[in-house]
Amino acid sequence: MVNKKEIVTKLLGQHRKLETDLITIQEKIGIETIDAQFVSSNLVKFHKDLLEHLTLENDVFYKELLLEMENSGIDTSNTKEFIKQMHEIGTKVLAFLSTYEIPTNVISNGETFKKEFSVIVETLKLRIESEENGVYSYWL
């Protein structure tokens, strides 16, 4: 049996770490000239942190949540749709990261990068809020 509180606590901690990663990058892209090397290396760190989070969330949390719901006779269709939407967000963020982890791509696409990064940040904020106020709190 998995320790629900321990998993949710770890996921919440990972959310705070991801938010810190994004703030660090956001502070550097708000200046006149983007430090592409700094941004790219921090995107690599964010990517690593995100993959660690997604692995725990997708391979443990969501699987256990659905199993518990099904064993309790609860309809999982809305939860499965939510999980599908979260996977789609993850896919978009990973595609963004694969493009901009290379400093030259940040430099050559500076304004586009800034706009896309802003969308990524807002999307992830929404995802984090949805998870923390929804499925995380439901599982405890």
The domain spans of the chain are: 4-139
Helix extents (H) in the chain:
4-29, 36-56, 62-71, 77-100, 103-108, 110-133, 135-139
Residue 140 pLDDT exceeds 70 = yes
**pLDDT tens column, 47-80:** 999 999 999 999 999 999 999 999 999 999 999 9
**pLDDT tens column, 103-137:** 999 999 988 999 999 999 999 999 999 999 999 98
| pTM listed for this prediction | 0.92
Task: In whole angstroms, give the CA distance from residue 109 to residue 25.
Answer: 16
Q: What value does the mean pLDDT of the chain take? A: 93
**Whose structure tokens read 């200046």?**
31
Residue 7 pLDDT exceeds 70 = yes
Tokens describing residue 18: 């991801």
Residue 30 pLDDT exceeds 80 = no
Please report the pLDDT score of residue 41 as a whole number.
94
Please report the pLDDT score of residue 131 as a whole number.
94
Tokens describing residue 122: 């807002």
